[in-house]
Homo-oligomer: A and B are copies of this chain.
Amino acid sequence: MAQDEFSLIRQWTSRSNGQEGDGLTVGIGDDAAVFTPAHEMEVVACCDAMTETVHFLKETMKPADIGYKAVISNISDIAAMGGIARYALISIAVSPNWTKAEYEQIYDGIYEACEQYGVRVIGGDTVSSPVSLHLSVTVLGEVEKGRAIRRSQASAGQLVFVTGHVGSSAAGLDLLLNQERQEGEAGGQELIAAHQRPAAQINAGRLLQASEACGALNDVSDGLASELWEIAEASDVRIVVEVDHIPILEAARTYARQRGKDPLDWALYGGEDYQLVGTIEADSLADLSGRFAEQYIPFTVIGRVEAQGTAVVIAREGQRKVLPKAGFNHFGHVDGERR
């Protein structure tokens, strides 16, 4: 990419919403940004990267979607700590295979996500990449001192919940990769939107943080199975999930039937749903359900935490089975029947 195109990206970056004030002492444009967290708040920091061909294809994600989702995946990590997202640093490696217009659209998506979640872009770096586009985002947020929600605090007797629906993003990706099915597919747009324009569950995280009833919390970036195992291992607990309670969109179920697939595979092993999964004190359920309902955030109890050992077990009609961390082998399928 020529020098003038670099300048262009710097120009897009400096259209930044990173104005000083409201805790930000030095915004974008100096060697580093400087900010003060609000009174009685700590800083929450995370970093997530996306590479062309590995995390997205031009065929499945528009440039603005790529920028949008790279920011959302980070805001989602802040949500999973019970925090508020405040600032972003955007590191982009630009490849000669993309046009100036496409890069501008990536930044449109980045700023769209940032503005929706009140995040200011305070820095970053623009470098070249010989072949593939690479986008690495750091998001900094805030959470009340000593009250971040960790994944290691699940304990026996707590209930396991998930927000929203899971498997929608993987269903949407499947639909995008089978383009001939997209036209007129009932509910297809809902699934595609879940893949291209996921939401981060900041409001749900804040509600859980304020309740003081939340044990462990994760965001569903790698599929429900992986997230549940992370909680089970970090907390050293046995988690039992009622498979039939896992919330899956009707559109995903319908599309799965048409494809001869099991939508549970998408829910358990798909990922990129950016919903929150975690544990709550059993006696807080009525109160929390009410608060989630007031904010129109679907909130579903899918299991409970048992004391013994580190495991994730799925249950259906009294039958139990250890949930594999990866791959799939559910009830009702003979091993090797698929794949």
Please report A residues at the B interface, Cβ cutoff 8 Å: 25-26, 29-37, 42-55, 77-78, 80-81, 83, 87, 89-91, 93, 122-125, 127-132, 134, 136, 138, 140-141, 143, 145-146, 148, 150-152, 217-219, 234
Contact = CB atoms under 8 A, between A and B. Distances in A.
Given A45-B123, A93-B51, A136-B136, A77 B129 contact: no
B45 A140 contact: yes
Contacts of A130: 51-54, 131-132
A45 B78 contact: no
A7 to B, nearest CB: 12
A285 to B, nearest CB: 23
A43 B47 contact: no
Contact of A127 (B26, B34, B51, B141): B51
B145 A36 contact: yes
Copies of this chain, how many? 2
Contact of A134 (B30, B43, B93): B93
Nearest to A80: B31
A132 to B, nearest CB: 5
B136 A49 contact: yes
A45 B123 CA distance: 8
A114 B119 CA distance: 28
B138 A47 contact: yes
Q: 7 closest A-B pairs (Cβ-Cβ)?
A: A32-B46, A31-B80, A136-B136, A47-B89, A91-B136, A31-B77, A138-B138
Contacts of A217: 31
B54 A43 contact: no
20 contacts: A31-B151, A32-B44, A33-B44, A33-B46, A34-B43, A34-B83, A36-B42, A37-B37, A43-B140, A45-B123, A46-B123, A47-B125, A48-B91, A51-B127, A51-B128, A51-B129, A52-B130, A54-B128, A91-B136, A125-B136
Contacts of A33: 44-46
Nearest to A81: B32
B129 A26 contact: no
A31 B152 CA distance: 11
Contacts of A87: 45
Given A37-B37, A54-B127, 17 more contacts: A25-B145, A25-B146, A26-B81, A30-B150, A31-B219, A32-B78, A32-B148, A33-B44, A34-B148, A36-B43, A45-B123, A48-B125, A51-B127, A51-B129, A54-B130, A89-B138, A140-B140
